[in-house]
Amino acid sequence: MKDKGLLIVISGPSGAGKGTVVSRVISANEKFKFSVSVTTRAPREGEVDGVNYYFKSMSEFEHMIHNKELLEYMDVYGNFYGTNKFFVEDMLNNGYDVVLEIDTKGAFAVKKIMPEAVMIFITPESFDVLSERLVGRATDSPEQLKRRLGESVSELKLAAKYDYIVVNDVLDTCVNQVSNIICSEHHRSKRCLDIIDNFSK
C-alpha cells in the first residue's frame, strides 16, 4: 500500500440520503475510510461519539483550532463543525481513500486547501422526493423544515462545481456508482505517471 490515497469529498442537500450512501460505500471497500468530523453540536438520538462525530465542547474545539488540528471548520447557526487534519493526512499517507461527508461550504474550503480532492455531489431525483424526505423527518420543526428546504435548493445550485453528480434514486445503484467513481479516479493519468516513467528506465 505505497500509493497515496484519495481525498473524496461528498456533499448533497439534506434529504439526499448521503449519510446512508456514505456508510454503505465505506463498508464496501476496506481501502475506504470515513473521516469523522468534529462538532460542538449536541448528539442526536442514536449518534455515537467517534462514529458519527467527535462531540467536543466549545473550549475543546477552540483548542483544536488554536493547535491547527483542523483542515477546515465552519460555524453553522452557532454549532461548529470541523475536519480532523491529522486523521485525514495519516490515512491518505497510508494509502486509504478518505471520504469526507461535508456541506458545500466546507467542501469548497477543503478543495481550496487540497485541490486534488475528488468532489462528488449526491442528489435526490426530484424536488418532490426531496420535500417528501424532509417532511418524513420527525426531528424538524416546521421552521427548521422550511429552512432546510431552502438550504437544500441553495446547495443544489452548487452541484455543477463538483466533479461528479450522482442521483440517489435506488440506493444500491448509487452506492455502486460512488464506489466506481472513487476506483476510477485512481486511474486518472495524472495519478499514474510513475507507471509510464518505468518504461523509460
Q: Which three cell numbers stand for residue 183?
A: 476506483
**If binding is defined by CB under 8 A, does position 66 make contact with a copy of itself?**
no
CB-nearer residue toward a copy of itself: 86 or 127: 127
Which of 37-45, 49-57, 97-105, 173-181 is the region at the interface with a copy of itself (rule: CB under 8 A)?
Answer: 173-181
Which of 27-35, 49-57, 135-143, 191-199 is the region at the interface with a copy of itself (rule: CB under 8 A)?
Answer: 191-199
H or E, element range at 92: helix 85-93
**If binding is defined by CB under 8 A, does position 177 make contact with a copy of itself?**
yes
- Report d(CA 155, CA 139) in Å as an integer: 21
- C-alpha to C-alpha distances, 172 to 38, 52, 84, 105, 176, nearest whole angstrom: 28, 21, 29, 28, 6
Q: Which three cell numbers stand for residue 13?
A: 442537500
- Report d(CA 88, CA 196) in Å as an integer: 28
Contact status, residue 121 vs residue 164, Cβ threshold 8 Å: yes
> Using CB under 8 A, which of 53, 156, 168, 175 touches a copy of itself?
156
CB-nearer residue toward a copy of itself: 47 or 125: 125
What is the radius of gyration, based on Cα positions, of the chain? 18
CB-nearer residue toward a copy of itself: 5 or 15: 15
**If binding is defined by CB under 8 A, does position 79 make contact with a copy of itself?**
no
Q: Which three cell numbers stand for residue 30?
A: 476496506
> Using CB under 8 A, which of 53, 88, 164, 168 touches a copy of itself?
164
- Using CB under 8 A as the criterion, which residues of the chain lie in contact with a copy of itself when the complex forms? 121, 123, 125-127, 130, 153, 156-157, 159-167, 177, 180-181, 183-185, 187-190, 192-193, 195-196, 198-201
